[in-house]
Structure 1
Amino acid sequence: MAEDPTIPNDFDLAVDDYGSDVEKCLKINTSPYIVAFLHKKTLPRTVEQIACDENVLEKVVSNYVIVKRIISNLSWQNKLMCKNVCSMWRAAVDTLQREQISPCDFAVNLRLCYIRNGVKLNISDNFYTEPLAVFVFANTSGFTVTRKCAMLVPCPCDPPCEKKHQLVDLVHHHLVSPKTCGLTIKACYLSYMPLPQSITYRHVVNRQRFGRSAAIIAGIYIPVIPGVEFRVVNIKSIPDIKTSFYDVIDEMTQTRIVKGALVFVNESFLLHSVEDIVFLNYLTEAQPTVPYALGGCIVEDTLRNPKDILLNIEGTNEGVEYITENLVSIGVFSVPKLGNNVQPDPECQFDMYSLILESSDWAKDKIENVINEFSKKIPHFEHSVVVKLSCVGRDQKHEYEQNCFRAAFPHTRLIGCYGNGELGMNNPARPPHELYPNIKRHRRDPGPQFGVMYSYSTVFVYIGWGKITKPLET
């Protein structure tokens, strides 16, 4: 009988196969041809010349339609190099970058039933377009797990080396490198719900697998969207908040509008004072008349750049847990202003919205109603992803919330994690007692962080771009 991939396997792999006779973990190097491209150097390569008709070859490489069709199947790294061939090829790549703007989801699953033929980077589609942002979520087991180079599919080294590679580094190598637009989040548990028709759907993380220890890495790949910028603001100490956040937001809002922010807070930051998180309200001060989406979670750690990954690998080799100095990592999405106006450029079809299911939104019918109302109040885009950030303590509600959101947004990929505290803001705003006007809520004022910091809650951040397929309901 064939194995059902939706049923948890009792032989999950929770730890790495360390052994004294195996070489230590090695950082994956950037491909030589990419390095040569970045440094504008010639790369000598031994290639076998293929005999072909020169006249036919000339017609192919000079025909825009044919060239565009061929280039459309290349990875985004190869597309970058094609732009330097000639002006026609550059035009073809630029056109494809405006057309191939679908998101992708991916997963590396170390459950035994998925690694019999090698540890595979499972992707929902090819990464055709240069990435704008890549969010990688790894559970505690997946964050430092390594495997022999020859076991990895696709293999990062040619020929395979004799050393191990960290799986977080593998994802970064294939999806992000040589850019630095990736953000890796370490959390105890993950949320992951690809589209049902996707080949990655078999790796969905639902309540059955919620508490299991098998290593898993999952994430979302957002391609470059015309007019949209993504920037990670990294804060390493409380005194850095002004220069790392306030000054950056001031500079950004001179010419751009912040559409949304995803915030990942290291637990050590909140040990100082939970009220320090109110610095996020500066976004409202910087653009008081423009709404924006906000969602966040208290996590174990984040990896911001290749240096963090390298240090994480060194910690793995030394048998110690590596913790970065990143206290808060904030991914900010922005669009250009229309001249000196505070309105976004209408040509940039991109927007973000966020919804908070508070601790009082506990009953299943209320959860469903709140999500359905949110669905009616925002436009649905041709391309979209949602980041779900939830409290572990919501327990039985996790899978139900995901299913409700999938029903309301059937074409939206979902990714996220669980923590011990959530950050968020409702955009559009939820009127008080929106669905249950006869219920009087009593809440003790917890301090200035009220309205940003929540507990026993779930925050959904919807990111949409492209054509609007479902306008606002009137």
Structure 2
Amino acid sequence: MYSVSAENSVNTVYIGIDELCFDKDEIDSKDSCAKLELKDNITAYIEKRELIRNTEPLECDSALIEKVTSNYIIVKTIISNLCWQDKLVCKLVNSTWSSAVQALQKEHLCPEDFVVDLCSPAKGGGGKGWIKQSGTFRTEPLVIFTFANTAGMFFCCKCKVFSPRLCEEPCQKEHCLIDLINRQVNAPKNCMLTATANYLVYRPLPFTNTYVHSITHYTDTWNNPFLAGVYIPKIPNVGIKIINIRSQDGLKAEFYDVVEKLSQDNIIKGVVVYVTDKYLLNSIDDIVFLHYLKDVQPNVPYALGGCLVEDTMSDSKDIDNIIDKLNENADFISENLLSMCLFTVPKNITDNEYNFEMYSFVINSSEWKKPFIQQAITEFSNKVPRFEHSIALKLSCVGRDQKHVIEQDCFRDAFPDTPIAGCYGNGELGINHPTRVKAEPSSPAAKRHKDHSEPHHGLMYSYSTVFVYIGWGKMTSPKGPLPCFNNKNVQSLKSDDKVI
């Protein structure tokens, strides 16, 4: 049996699976939710100290040890089977091991997706292998985009039920599910950007073991926890900067100064933005600050996509606060008014073999019927190249009803090798890169939404869908005349040039 209940004012969910149900007295115990501890070797890596293990050394022939440690191929083969967290530690052993890790980083550039699905226990959610992955996280992540419904964000459960095992000896306390995601997928790095929304989309590739957990739109079981995300591995010469804005007064220091500094030596390829209604409470005019991105690089286009979500979370401090609130039986709301992730490449790269690019486009409110949706996606797909590796974020208005499935199916047909993840909200941010041919509505349904088709301040839409396409690696089928903007062609652009 699978059961879920919520108590008090917080959306805390408890699960019972077959004989692993818990007494109410156990659930209500004081300080029932505990923060997970990282593994000893990972903690030592973070604290930059030597890890002293209470073990007896093996007696090995010194000549054999020297041959093994000096054999680059053997070392690389061994290290390739380790998780990315252990690879970070291996980099500190010696120069040979460090070189092997760096080589693997350049070879393992495939994105992966992951899911924890307690909405559909029949599909394997809960009890056995809580986290499902489409593949192995072979190298350290560049960024991890995670999407959670409210129940998933506040879900906690007894230690002995979780799989994989959280504590060496299962403790009597409960652990928060987002804390498990952080430890297994993100830590010791701090590059996970999480959006909380009531409506999610998760469309893995058909051949993966996570495909059975695909979600296209709202379901009746949404009171149960669901978390999903995509993992982008570290790509050479590509950087990210996560910005959290917690007050209007902090815009200068937290956004303008940061972007100005970034743009001095880097090209901004794209931005993913999550905005909460706390930020837009007074007026949507507050969003115009995002145009500063165009000011710092007026001749270089970039992708931008975003959505109005319930809350955001981007560091381990937020997880600590969730756990504290769970123990206090109180609601958790972060201090983040908005969070964004900026992708950059250095300006001094003259030959970027990894071809990292980002594109975005908006299906506006007037494009209501299937032919217009297909036309918009086809136009976009004909203008952008295909990459060996790619992911897509879909950030859409929940008010588009059943158009969500049509949009996802059309996008999957155009980009069959690209996993899709995202969320729905009540307002979207986006720009068209490349520029689009404007479509005129020709149906009564489309005309009803025509007033919403023009973006506020060129950024904010209603009843729309924004796709952000991120691609890297070898180009499998270059399409369209779009250039890859590196230092060479950026310098060739004059101040009065226009990029189309």
**TM-score (ref. length: structure 2):** 0.86
Query: Given that residues 304 and 429 in structure 2 are in contact (C-alpha distance below 8 angstroms), is that contact kept between their aligned partners in structure 1?
Result: yes
| Paired letter, 1:465 | W
- The aligned counterpart of 1:458 is 465
Cα pair distance change 1:210/1:105, threshold 3 Å:
farther
| Paired letter, 2:26 | D
Once structures 1 and 2 are overlaid, which stretch shifts more, 150-159 or 109-118? 109-118
Please give the alpha-carbon distance, in whole angstroms, between the structure 2 residues aligned to 1:189 and 1:20. Answer: 33
Among residues 64, 69, 74, which one is paired with 1:61 in the alignment?
A: 69
Among residues 315, 318, 325, which one is paired with 1:315 in the alignment?
A: 325
2:316 corresponds to 1:335: no
- The aligned counterpart of 2:121 is 112
SS of the residue corresponding to residue 212 of structure 2 reads helix
Over residues 266-290 of structure 1, what are the superposed CA-to-partner deviations in whole Å (9 max), with x where a residue is unaligned?
Answer: 1111112111011111111111111
Over residues 330-376 of structure 1, what are the superposed CA-to-partner deviations in whole Å (9 max), with x where a residue is unaligned?
Answer: 1100111137xxxx753451000001110011111111121111111
Query: Given that residues 455 and 461 in structure 2 are in contact (C-alpha distance below 8 angstroms), is that contact kept between their aligned partners in structure 1?
Result: no
Over residues 417-455 of structure 1, what are the superposed CA-to-partner deviations in whole Å (9 max), with x where a residue is unaligned?
Answer: 00010000011010223898xx99996699993320001
| Paired letter, 2:14 | D
- The aligned counterpart of 1:423 is 429
How do 1:71-110 residues align onto structure 2 when only pairs under 5 Å count?
Answer: 71-110=79-118
Query: Given that residues 296 and 423 in structure 1 are in contact (C-alpha distance below 8 angstroms), is that contact kept between their aligned partners in structure 2?
Result: yes
Cα pair distance change 1:238/1:467, threshold 3 Å:
same
- The aligned counterpart of 2:40 is 32
2:14 corresponds to 1:17: yes
Please give the alpha-carbon distance, in whole angstroms, between the structure 1 residues aligned to 2:338 and 2:407. Answer: 27
Among residues 254, 266, 278, which one is paired with 1:268 in the alignment?
A: 278
Structure 1: 5+ residue runs without aligned partners? 1-9
Please give the alpha-carbon distance, in whole angstroms, between the structure 2 residues aligned to 1:14 and 1:405. Answer: 37
**TM-score (ref. length: structure 1):** 0.91
| Paired letter, 1:213 | N
Among residues 121, 134, 137, which one is paired with 2:144 in the alignment?
A: 134
Cα pair distance change 1:234/1:210, threshold 3 Å:
farther
Query: Given that residues 12 and 214 in structure 1 are in contact (C-alpha distance below 8 angstroms), is that contact kept between their aligned partners in structure 2?
Result: no
Cα pair distance change 1:211/1:263, threshold 3 Å:
farther
Please give the alpha-carbon distance, in whole angstroms, between the structure 1 residues aligned to 2:171 and 2:280. Answer: 42
Query: Given that residues 12 and 112 in structure 1 are in contact (C-alpha distance below 8 angstroms), is that contact kept between their aligned partners in structure 2?
Result: no
Please give the alpha-carbon distance, in whole angstroms, between the structure 1 residues aligned to 2:397 and 2:95. Answer: 51
Please identify runs of 4+ aligned residues in structure 1 that moved more than 6 A: 439-442, 445-448
Please give the alpha-carbon distance, in whole angstroms, between the structure 2 residues aligned to 1:31 and 1:349. Answer: 36
Please give the alpha-carbon distance, in whole angstroms, between the structure 1 residues aligned to 2:449 and 2:151. Answer: 40
| Matched residue count | 459
- The aligned counterpart of 1:233 is 243
The CA deviation at 1:180 is 1.1
- The aligned counterpart of 2:389 is 383
Over residues 383-417 of structure 1, what are the superposed CA-to-partner deviations in whole Å (9 max), with x where a residue is unaligned?
Answer: 11001001110011111111111111111111100
Query: Given that residues 265 and 329 in structure 1 are in contact (C-alpha distance below 8 angstroms), is that contact kept between their aligned partners in structure 2?
Result: yes
Please give the alpha-carbon distance, in whole angstroms, between the structure 1 residues aligned to 2:409 and 2:113. Answer: 18
Over residues 74-123 of structure 1, what are the superposed CA-to-partner deviations in whole Å (9 max), with x where a residue is unaligned?
Answer: 11111111112221111111100111111110011113322463461111
Query: Given that residues 235 and 326 in structure 1 are in contact (C-alpha distance below 8 angstroms), is that contact kept between their aligned partners in structure 2?
Result: yes
SS of the residue corresponding to residue 434 of structure 2 reads coil
Please give the alpha-carbon distance, in whole angstroms, between the structure 2 residues aligned to 1:445 and 1:122. Answer: 39
- The aligned counterpart of 1:6 is none
Cα pair distance change 1:427/1:387, threshold 3 Å:
same
Cα pair distance change 1:445/1:141, threshold 3 Å:
closer
2:301 corresponds to 1:291: yes
Please give the alpha-carbon distance, in whole angstroms, between the structure 2 residues aligned to 1:27 and 1:36. Answer: 18
Please give the alpha-carbon distance, in whole angstroms, between the structure 2 residues aligned to 1:358 and 1:460. Answer: 11
Cα pair distance change 1:445/1:168, threshold 3 Å:
closer
The CA deviation at 1:246 is 1.1
SS of the residue corresponding to residue 169 of structure 1 reads helix
Cα pair distance change 1:222/1:116, threshold 3 Å:
closer
Cα pair distance change 1:257/1:379, threshold 3 Å:
same
Among residues 318, 336, 344, which one is paired with 1:326 in the alignment?
A: 336
Query: Given that residues 147 and 166 in structure 1 are in contact (C-alpha distance below 8 angstroms), is that contact kept between their aligned partners in structure 2?
Result: yes
Cα pair distance change 1:403/1:218, threshold 3 Å:
same
| Paired letter, 1:189 | Y
